[in-house]
Amino acid sequence: MGHVDHGKTTLLDSIRKSEIVKQEHGGITQHIGAFVVTLNEKNSKPSKVEDLVVFLDTPGHKAFSSMRERGALVTDIVVLVVAADDGVMEQTIESISFARKANVPIIVAINKIDKIQNDPERIANLKAGLVSQGIKLEEDGGDIQSIRISALKSEGIHELKEAILALSETLELKAYIDGSVEGSIIESSIHPHRGRLATLLIQKGTLKRGDILVTSNSSHGRVSWAKVRSMFNEYGQVVNEVKPGFPVQVIGWRDDTLPEAGDEVWELTSEKQVKEVLNVAKTYEKQVKDSVDSEVIKRKVEAHDKVYKEELKKLRDAGIRYKRKRSKVPREKLILDDGDEFKTSVVLKADVNGSLEVLLDIFDSFPNEHCPAKLNLLHYGLGNVTESDIELASCFPNGIIYTFNTGIFTPSLIKMSKELNVPIKRFNVIYHLVDSLKEIIEEKMPFVEKEESVGEAVILQEFIINEKRKKVPVAGSRCVKGVLKKNGVRYKLIRGGQMIADNLTVSSMRHHKDEVDIIKKEFECGLLFTGNFINNNSENTIRFCPQDILNCYEIVKVKQKLKWTPKGF
Output the tens digit of pLDDT for each of the chain's 569 residues: 888 778 887 888 787 765 444 443 333 334 456 677 776 665 445 445 666 788 887 664 555 566 667 777 788 888 899 988 888 888 888 888 888 888 889 999 988 888 877 678 888 888 888 988 888 888 888 888 999 888 888 888 888 888 888 888 888 888 888 888 888 888 888 877 788 888 888 888 999 999 999 988 766 667 888 899 999 887 788 888 888 888 888 998 887 778 888 888 898 988 888 888 888 888 887 888 888 888 888 888 888 888 888 887 877 777 766 555 555 555 554 444 556 778 889 999 988 887 888 888 888 888 888 888 888 899 988 888 888 899 999 988 889 999 988 866 788 888 898 999 999 988 888 878 888 998 898 888 888 888 999 999 999 999 988 887 788 899 999 999 999 999 999 999 999 889 999 999 999 999 988 999 999 999 999 999 988 887 755 667 888 999 999 999 999 988 888 888 887 66
356: phi then psi, degrees, rounded to nearest 5: -60, -40
Contact, 29 vs 57, CB < 8 A? yes
Contact, 229 vs 240, CB < 8 A? no
If one counts every other C-beta atom within 10 angstroms of the C-beta of residue 147, the result is 20
Question: Which one, of 137, 124, 266, 294, lies nearest residue 207 by Cα?
Answer: 266
- In the prediction, which pLDDT does 219 show? 60
- In the prediction, which pLDDT does 528 show? 92
- In the prediction, which pLDDT does 504 show? 92
105: phi then psi, degrees, rounded to nearest 5: -65, 155
- In the prediction, which pLDDT does 400 show? 92
**Measured distance CA(269)–CA(205) in Å, rounded:** 13
- In the prediction, which pLDDT does 30 show? 43
480's enclosing H/E stretch is strand 470-482
Is 348 strand, coil or helix? strand
- In the prediction, which pLDDT does 548 show? 94
**Which 8-state DSSP code applies to residue 333?**
P
- In the prediction, which pLDDT does 19 show? 44
